[in-house]
Structure 1
Amino acid sequence: MEPNLFNRKGWKRCSLGPDRAPLRCDVKTGFILLLTSAFLLTAVAYVSEFSLKSAVIPVTWYKKVLNKTHTYFAVIENPSPSENRTIVLAPNSIQQSPTPQIPSQTTEISLHHVAHPSNYHFILDEPDKCSQYDPFLVFMVPVAPHQVNARNAIRSTWGNESSVQGKAVLTLFLVGLTRGSEAQQQLEEESQQHRDLVQSNFVDSYFNLTIKTMVIMDWLATRCPQANYSMKVDSDMYINVENLMSLLLKPNTPRQNYITGHLMWNRPVIRNKKSKWYVSEELYPEPKYPTYVLGMGYVFSNDLPGKIVEASKKVKAFNNEDAYVGACLKQLGIKPSSPPDSSQFRVYMGQYKRENFLRVITTLLGSPQQLVNIWKDVKRPT
């Protein structure tokens, strides 16, 4: 069968010759196509004039995020592979959105976001949690809204530890905006069931982990100042709470200006623009970061959150959240402390051996189910 150049219903068909070039077309069809093309070109020219102002960016869901006069990173939907421009959103261009949500497909273009927590507010909150439980230690877990399995695994393992060596322990999860009203409703139902979710109105993405970390610090400073220690811990981590509590209860463990974990020394700032860890000289001019603590799990005295939040007013935000906390500490003149036993803050453990997990404080795991399995084995009677 001879192929056709146009085969949509109602269109005239053009025959193709042996060399795949059109032989003839109905004149009326060609005229209509010419008019259609002219109209489309005019429309494209018209839209392009305003695309950077409104059409490219779905701005309605930014209302609660952009409530201060600052420069934020923008997102555009389905950009072309060569797209490489910075779009700055002004707060007066934002319209009200009834439900906090973000588009299903976004690409971060600019990282000039503002990390200071005063730019955001809590949608879901547990403001009285610490006054009710008076915790000695608080775990704050940054997690994506959709990662229910990770939260449930923590709730059934180390996050279920409410009293360790006679000290109260509290675990809370921090999330950003969901991707729609249905996801938001599910999150709110989960919050009502467990009462351990805190949600803020920042866009929940990899490039906003600095914002996420600073919102954690703000929550601890404003909602839980009575705690002695806190720990920022990723959702894919194993935590031996007994060993951590033993460290914190040692008489020589500082009670103020203290932060420890897996320390990172003399780390170069990545200037390769193709790297997801790229940070410009404008945001951080030094060639190396100050000593900082790897963000998979670090513990700190609870006087630090408020100090770090205050220091962030003077430190430009960049998208390496762990190094950014280190930069804020440098601004404060505070150096991270090496743990008494550095082998207790592990990145990877390799092949599972129960005796190793009995000795560590933190280590990275591969899945929520692995956490559940290892926890059961570590806690089994010997």
Structure 2
Amino acid sequence: MTTSSFQRMATLRLPVKSCFVLLVFITVAVLVIYYVSNTHLQLTKDWLSKVSNNIHSYYIKQPVRIVPPPPRHHQTVKQGTLNGTNVARTTTDSNVTEVLRKSTSSVPSIRYHEAYPRNYHFILDEPNICKQEKPFLVLMVPVAPHELEARKAIRSTWGNVSVVRGKTVRVLFSLGRPGIKDAEAQQRQLNLESKKYHDLIQSDFLDTYLNLTIKTMVIMDWLATRCPNATYAMKVDSDMFLNVENLMSMLLASNTPKENYMTGMVMWNRPVIRDPASKWYVPKKLYDKDYYPTYLLGMGYVFSNDLPKKLVEASKEIKPFNIEDAYIGACLDKLHIVPSNPPDASKFKAYFNGKYDRKEFQRVITTILSSPQQLIDFWQDSRRPT
């Protein structure tokens, strides 16, 4: 091969070599770009997922993070647990201060509160009252620690009725521990109130609207463990007008069941509210069905006193959520117990329509009022001789 031929061959090989190098370069570049893009995309996906989860967790946690249950055991509290003695007579201000200090300390945040009542312990209690008085009907009133006027109004009206149609009736107020603001002063007042009236049942969960499910389940456990021999009980809100005579007439009727019985204002096919801005918001993580089982409106429902123990047992298997009356409905559904329609549904009224009618208040069993003073005024008028 001549020199010129060799040079021509070299000249031809150069573009081929260059093309090969270029092809390798492009291939490597594409692979690098693909890898980087794919990694970036994955990071972006992970980042977006994290943001989404954080936003979702905010709405899941927001209603309940502010109400975590207190520590389950208070070593410094000697009042006893749910099976203890009458702590209302032994609680001191220093004990209460320690309870409040420990209960408001930092605890791990949770996604929902725990409603099973044995997770909590009594601060004030009346464990022997049902043994001493043997009530036929126990009226349990959930009330906030600071709502002294509501308790006074009830004590001076329907809560002052101890015997109706020959049957003993007892009223007790159920409450949690005060919030951080003025907690010690409020607790001292509650201690004095308990010693005077012997009608406060206080547990160590934080008393908030979102913890009404806990409060209700503590009520059920108190009835099951402290007052199992009562025939009937009622959970009735502190803003209610209650005509105990009419209630007793219904309970003493021959056809009123004494077991597996709960009645009041019945709610059917109620949708679960998913709007985070709503007071009644429940996220799917707490309750994943779109509709609640049949339940009774929480303003006031009556039940045979065999149910509290069964409801407490059922609550072990029902994830808690913050709508207390619907939660009781879920526990009933677990027990395959259907709430009963009252003999006359119109006697369980919701809100007062603003126009007082004496005859109507003498006819009903329950009505929601707007203030303690309104309860006193309507009660006194409805009871005066005609």
Is contact 1:111–1:319 with CA below 8 Å preserved after alignment? no
Which residue pairs with 1:158 in the alignment? 158
Any idea what the Cα deviations from partners look like across 1:201-239, whole Å, max 9, x if unmatched?
000001100000000000000000000000000000000
Distance 1:176 1:241, change over 3 A: same
Unmatched tracts of structure 1, length 5 or more: 1-58, 69-95
Task: Work out the percentage of aligned pairs sharing the same amino acid.
Answer: 60
1:311 aligns with 2:314: yes
Q: Which has the higher helix share?
A: 2
Secondary structure of the structure 2 residue equivalent to 1:336: coil
Name the Cα RMSD after superposition: 2.2
Distance 1:280 1:217 in 2: 25
Is contact 2:70–2:103 with CA below 8 Å preserved after alignment? no
The one-letter amino acid of 1:239's match is: L
Unmatched tracts of structure 2, length 5 or more: 1-64, 74-95
Which residue pairs with 2:53 in the alignment? none
Give the alignment's TM-score, normalised by structure 1.
0.73
Which residue pairs with 1:177 in the alignment? 177
The one-letter amino acid of 2:286's match is: L
- Structure 2 counterparts to residues 288-327 of structure 1, below 5 A: 288-327=291-330
Is contact 2:153–2:376 with CA below 8 Å preserved after alignment? yes
Match 2:338 to one of 325, 329, 335: 335
Secondary structure of the structure 2 residue equivalent to 1:138: strand
Any idea what the Cα deviations from partners look like across 1:18-54, whole Å, max 9, x if unmatched?
xxxxxxxxxxxxxxxxxxxxxxxxxxxxxxxxxxxxx
Match 1:371 to one of 372, 375, 378: 375
The one-letter amino acid of 2:292's match is: Y
Displacement, 1:133? 0.6
Which residue pairs with 1:135 in the alignment? 135
1:356 aligns with 2:379: no
1:230 aligns with 2:229: no
Is contact 1:264–1:291 with CA below 8 Å preserved after alignment? yes
Larger Rg: 2
Displacement, 1:272? 1.4
Which residue pairs with 1:112 in the alignment? 112
Which residue pairs with 1:287 in the alignment? 290
Displacement, 1:299? 0.3
Displacement, 1:102? 9.5
The one-letter amino acid of 2:170's match is: L
Which residue pairs with 1:23 in the alignment? none
Secondary structure of the structure 2 residue equivalent to 1:225: coil
Distance 1:325 1:264 in 2: 12
Which residue pairs with 2:123 in the alignment? 123
Match 1:66 to one of 64, 71, 85: 71
Match 1:267 to one of 252, 270, 276: 270
Displacement, 1:282? 2.1
Displacement, 1:67? 1.5
1:197 aligns with 2:185: no
Distance 1:202 1:215 in 2: 10
Displacement, 1:277? 1.3
Secondary structure of the structure 1 residue equivalent to 2:233: strand
Is contact 2:112–2:320 with CA below 8 Å preserved after alignment? yes
Distance 1:270 1:184, change over 3 A: same
Displacement, 1:313? 0.3
Displacement, 1:177? 0.5
Secondary structure of the structure 2 residue equivalent to 1:326: helix
Give the alignment's TM-score, normalised by structure 2.
0.73
Number of equivalent positions: 292
